[in-house]
């Protein structure tokens, strides 16, 4: 496979919080159409790795691309082109479902027309 055949590439991706290393130089490639998952014990760094790949947390070092977008230079494009479902319920309890949908759609830059269509 060449680089264009990969949806995700990660090379030595690392995340440190002070002296603690949460993700230590992970490297992998995921091909187009391939199913990929992280398995590991609690605290192994799975969620931290996903947050870096989704553009929600900046890595301490390493490099990665998602759908051709660089995680450092184009995190907003990554967010616009992927879906991410946290394992924790993330709706605001004091808002209606409609309000939650409009709120999250607004974060992703959808117009009122696009929100109504979807």
pLDDT digits (tens, 9 = 90+) for 12-62: 999 999 999 999 999 999 998 898 888 888 889 998 999 899 888 899 999
What is the pLDDT at residue 103?
82
Distance CA 56, CA 71 (A): 10
Q: Kindly state the tokens that stand for 70.
A: 């660089």
Give the pLDDT confidence score for residue 88 in this predicted structure.
63
More confident residue, 32 or 86: 32
Rounded to an integer, what distance in angstroms lies between the CA atom of residue 33 and that of residue 77? Answer: 20
Q: Report domain extents, the chain.
A: 3-81, 88-118
Rounded distance between C-alpha atoms, residue 64 and residue 5, angstroms? 14
HEC string of 32-77?
Answer: CCCCCCCCCCCCCCHHHHHHHHCCCCCCCEEEEEECCEECCCCHHH
**Rounded to an integer, what distance in angstroms lies between the CA atom of residue 75 and that of residue 41?**
28
| Residue 88 per-residue DSSP state | S
Helix (H) or strand (E) run with residue 9 in it? strand 6-17
CATH of domain 3-81: 3.40.50.300
């Amino acid at each position: 496979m060449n680089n264009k055949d990969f949806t995700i590439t990660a090379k030595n991706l690392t995340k440190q919080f002070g002296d603690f290393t949460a993700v230590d130089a992970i490297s992998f490639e995921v091909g187009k159409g391939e199913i990929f998952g992280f398995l590991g014990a609690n605290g192994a760094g799975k969620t931290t790795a996903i947050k870096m790949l989704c553009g929600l947390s900046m890595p301490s070092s390493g490099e990665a691309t998602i759908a051709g977008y660089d995680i450092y230079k184009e995190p907003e494009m990554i967010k616009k082109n992927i879906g991410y479902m946290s394992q924790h319920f993330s709706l605001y309890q004091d808002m209606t479902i409609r309000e939650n949908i409009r709120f999250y759609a607004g974060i992703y830059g959808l117009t009122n027309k696009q929100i109504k269509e979807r």
